[in-house]
Amino acid sequence: MEKNPDKQSENHKFLTRKLNTRFQLVPELVHDTLRRLVSDQKEIQRRRTFAIISHPDAGKTTLTEKLLLYGGAVHLAGSVTARKHQRASTSDWMELERKRGISISSTVLQFEYEGFAINLLDTPGHKDFSEDTYRVLTAVDGVVMVIDAAKGIETQTRKLFEICRRRGIPIFTYMNKCDRPTKDPLELLDELESVLGIGSFPVNWPIGTGVDFKGVFDRLQKEVHLFERTVGGLFRAPESVGDLDDSIIKDKLNTEMHEKLKEEVEMLNLAGESFDMESVYNGTMTPVFFGSAMNNFGVELLLKGFLEYSPPPAPRHSGDQLIPTDHETFSAFVFKIQANMDPRHRDRIAFARICSGKFERDMTVVHPRSGKKVRLASSHKLFGNERETVNTAYAGDIVGLVGLSDFGIGDTLTTDPSIKFQEIPIFTPETFAYLHNPNTAKYKQFRQGLDQLLQEGVIQVMRVRDSLTRIPLLAAVGQLQFEVVQYRLETEYGAESRLENAPWTVIRWLPTSMEESDLDTLQLPTGTKIAYDANEHPVTLFDSDWAASYFSETNGGLELSTLPPKSMEILTRHID
């Protein structure tokens, strides 16, 4: 997008007059202040904060590693299979992740690339950890959706896409594993429209598939990129670049492949959609890239394309007020809490997304939920479980704040107490279990560890109404979350635990207007229980969807909600 120099000059003069009038500054101070404001705005504009989402085994963590390789953040890409002579994945920092070869916690990776300051959030692909992924999606301005080109769109991809669509997040698509047998590329584009309901524009196009995969044609730059395989995909892939009729391209493609490529590109130009930046920004069109993350095919093209066509940090809503990124007030919200990332230090880190203003280490902010003033003395830039002190940060950045026990997920941090973000929804659990402490001598460690994990949002906890015991009822999206709780209790706090599965699989929230006396009058199906969530909202626990429907009918058509109060509003609020 071309910049208008006359418009920039007018803005400069207007801002100068405004500063003179408001602060009655001498010219030198006006210009110093103006330079600082312009510098801050440039820093914000070069930020890109995004997450990578996919169905398990589509290649999300592999792509994360290779993006870091091309970004210069790592020199040798770690293999997810973790062979003995290779590194483990940079983003998989927890020992349980390394053992299973899957990502089970969200990780922040920050690096510089060609003038951009990048915040990359790697998310769990396993469906049992989708709640952690959902929270991460509240902190990003864009998403890269990885699809296995052999399988097309899968269940978890569809669920995560729906969250992005509701929030209006720009989505970039990477068709992965093109060096293996795949679906027809046109069929994959059709799936995007028919299954997800989103328009697509292939920024590049594959040259062959499977063993015949030779590279990609960049439709916007009119260049062919031919790649060579590297041993284990460890190093940056060398490539040959030229237009369709360059001799270097013709020499490496046989006549049949060359003619087929020209025909497909011509067909796309005639019948396909045109590239529209506004549609990309509002999430109704996805730029599509083809490649193979494992073999470094098309990874750098994806990175460059994303940085060029994705938006900078977006403003956020505080109630009815829209807080611009260059607002003079500092504001941020906590979207994730993680304890014991560094086993040498039993500390606790809160991940905060900066929404406006400039962060400076040692600054004092207000914590609206508690009303306290807090000094942010220990602030870090993250790279997996490694960290370094950060002194300044801007809107779009993710900052790790260490050792602040009052912070909870969803909390706002600001220098203006009137700002309060509501960004983090609570999601519907699908599995329930009682967690027992078999060793009474370790009760303190058990309780301390469980309280910490609850504060991190690893799982939810319910209190069953009229229960005679105080055994915690845990609630989670998937069973594997319970295993993580038990594993971390034992390895981080030295506390054993025993899990007892509960019979319920369906939870519904009751109207918040109901009083305790109203709960006594409800007719409950056999096996149904009333409980309270962490915010003391009444819920009903059922063993089936049928029982939930029957309960509603027998209680005069009582309206039940699949989400707690406010969560649906937050989930469906678009980022402007």
pLDDT, one tens digit per residue, over 319-355 is 889 999 999 899 999 998 877 655 555 677 889 999 9
Indicate the residue type of 434.
Answer: Y
Q: Is the pLDDT of residue 139 over 80?
A: yes
The predicted-structure confidence for 518-542, as pLDDT tens digits, reads as follows 999 999 999 999 999 988 999 999 9
The per-residue pLDDT for range 267-299, each reduced to its tens digit, is: 888 877 789 999 999 999 999 999 999 888 889
Q: Taking residues 370-374, what's their average pLDDT?
A: 90
Distance CA 82, CA 65 (A): 12
3 state DSSP class of 474: strand
- The pair of structure tokens assigned to 313 is 């940090």
Closest CA to 140 of 323, 277, 288, 313: 313
Q: Beta partners for 216?
A: 206, 225
Q: Which of 67-81, 206-220, 512-526 has the lowest mean pLDDT?
A: 67-81
Q: Is the per-residue pLDDT at 312 higher than 60? A: yes
Percent of the chain surpassing pLDDT 70: 80
Choose the weakest-confidence range: 99-103, 228-232, 400-404: 99-103
Q: Tens digits of per-residue pLDDT, 457-477? A: 778 999 999 888 889 999 988
Q: Is the pLDDT of residue 100 over 50?
A: no
Does residue 237 register a pLDDT over 90?
no
Please check the confidence at residue 392 and state whether its pLDDT lies above 90: yes
DSSP H/E element including 17: helix 5-23
Between the alpha carbon of residue 290 and those of residues 12, 35, 64, 122, the distances in Å are: 42, 42, 15, 20
**Residue 51 clears pLDDT 90, i.e. is over it:** yes
The confidence score (pLDDT) of residue 27 equals 61
The separation between CA 545 and the C-alpha centre of its own chain, rounded to angstroms, equals: 30
* pLDDT higher than 90, residue 416: yes
Kindly tell me if the per-residue pLDDT of 207 is higher than 70: yes
Mean pLDDT of the chain: 82
Nearest to 316 by CA among 141, 58, 571: 141
pLDDT tops 80 at residue 87: no
The confidence score (pLDDT) of residue 535 equals: 85
- Greatest mean pLDDT among 29-43, 117-131, 167-181, 373-387 lies in 167-181
The pLDDT of residue 224 is above 90: no
Q: Is pLDDT above 60 for 379? A: yes
Q: Would you state the pLDDT for residue 484?
A: 84
Please compute the mean of the pLDDT values over residues 178-182 and round it to a whole number. Answer: 93
CA-based torsion, 477, 478, 479, 482: positive or negative: negative
Contact 209, 182 (CB under 8 A): yes
More confident residue, 10 or 535: 535
Q: Quick one: average pLDDT of 223-242?
A: 65
Task: Give the mean model confidence (pLDDT) for residues 221-229.
Answer: 80
pLDDT at 271: 76
Length of the chain: 576
**How does pLDDT run across 474-497, given as a tens digit for each residue?**
998 888 888 888 988 998 889 999
Q: Give 56 or 184, the one with higher predicted confidence.
A: 184
Query: What is the average pLDDT across 379-386?
Result: 72
What is the rounded CA–CA span in Å between residue 174 and residue 148? 9
Query: For residue 104, what pLDDT is reported?
Result: 37
Query: For residue 94, what pLDDT band results from cuts at 50, 70 and 90?
Result: very low
The torsion angles phi and psi of 257, rounded to 5 degrees, stand at: -65, -40
